[in-house]
């Protein structure tokens, strides 16, 4: 049930990506990171299956927004002759991330976090820090574009 809802949320996120990207522009990536952080913290504190499903759905929705945007960025940035290789690299790193995730989660125990709730709370804190960094980057990138009128800054 939880996995099914996550996959459904990915689907919904994919359907919403165009409208959300147009509406939120540079803020979309920080908002997705914020969604992840909120979801991780919710998982760490909840005792209800419904809130676990909601949390996992938030993560899925965020992934559904980000993945098509990454694909679009790759298609814009890569030369046509290297496009297949570039998309393959995105897929490779996606699956590598899925492989490495359990190793990272187990590694969190090395810093003294011994419970699953603590692990998700730690992920929430790390994601909160990432949200701040990504937000600062997005604002500085937007400010640079407004100041210098450049659309080519990646």
Distances in whole angstroms, Cα of residue 103 to Cα of each of 76, 106, 108, 115: 33, 5, 9, 15
Number of domains in the chain: 1
Q: What is the pTM assigned to this prediction?
A: 0.82
At 112-138, the pLDDT tens digits run 888 999 999 999 999 999 999 999 988
* pLDDT reported for residue 151: 54
**Domain residue limits at 53:** 2-148
Q: Between 33 and 110, where is the model more confident?
A: 33
| 70 inside domain | yes
Query: What's the CA gap between 40 and 29, in Å, rounded?
Result: 17
Residue 153 lies in a domain: no
What whole-number distance in Å separates Cα of residue 114 and Cα of residue 117? Answer: 9
**153 has a pLDDT exceeding 50:** no
Which CATH number belongs to the domain containing residue 74 in this structure? Answer: 1.20.1250.20
């Amino acid at each position: 049930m939880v996995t099914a809802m996550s996959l459904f949320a990915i689907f919904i996120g994919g359907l919403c990506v165009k409208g959300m990207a147009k509406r939120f522009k540079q803020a979309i990536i920080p908002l997705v990171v914020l969604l992840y952080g909120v979801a991780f913290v919710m998982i760490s504190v909840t005792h209800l299956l419904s809130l676990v499903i909601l949390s996992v759905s938030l993560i899925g929705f965020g992934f559904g927004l980000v993945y098509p945007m990454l694909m679009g960025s790759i298609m814009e940035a890569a030369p046509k002759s290297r496009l297949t290789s570039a998309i393959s690299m995105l897929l490779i790193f996606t699956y590598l991330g899925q492989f490495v995730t359990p190793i990272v989660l187990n590694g969190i125990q090395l810093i003294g976090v011994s419970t699953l709730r603590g692990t998700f709370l730690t992920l929430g804190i790390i994601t909160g820090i990432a949200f701040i960094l990504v937000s600062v980057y997005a604002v500085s990138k937007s400010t640079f574009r407004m100041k210098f009128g450049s659309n080519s800054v990646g």
